[in-house]
Amino acid sequence: MTVTLSERQQATTRALAEHGAAPGALLPVLHAIQDALGYIPDDALDSIASHFNLSRADVHGVISFYHDFKHAPPARRVLRLCRAEACQSMGGAALEADLRKRLGLGPDEDVNRDGIAIEAAYCFGACACAPAAMLDGELHGRLDLETLTALARGEAELKA
């Protein structure tokens, strides 16, 4: 779902109006915008900075400091790959590297053009089923490259 400029502006204006300009209101404003849109759009930074009498860099610094704030629209699908010891010992790192190539992700990219995001996770408690991943909140284990690729692309439904 694409968010229009008008929707982004309305969400920003509404959040700023609801929370005022007190110094402690920056985080609630950022949360309100992200709750409304799923992320904090770049074009909202100038309005937020002006509202709080901050620089755009100050606002960007706060957004980038907290990992829960997103800079881009949410991914269509989120694949969380376990990076804990059991999954790594069963080839998790190589599996992730190969999957990133198949999905067309560069070293600094986490979302591909099809809207599939790869995120790190540190143990799902499914060590006996290593390597494991969670796709859109569902746990999958004993993964190989073919199965993981099919899951990421929505072509398979295999569970741990």
Domains and CATH numbers, the chain: 5-65 (no CATH), 77-152 (3.40.30.10)
pLDDT in tens, 24-43: 999 999 999 999 999 999 99
For residue 87, how many other CB atoms are within 10 A of its CB?
Answer: 27
User: How confident is the model at residue 156, as a pLDDT?
Assistant: 66
89: left (phi over 0), alpha (psi -120 to 50) or beta: alpha
pLDDT in tens, 79-123: 999 999 999 999 999 999 999 999 999 878 888 888 889 999 999
pLDDT tier at 65, thresholds 50, 70, 90:
very high
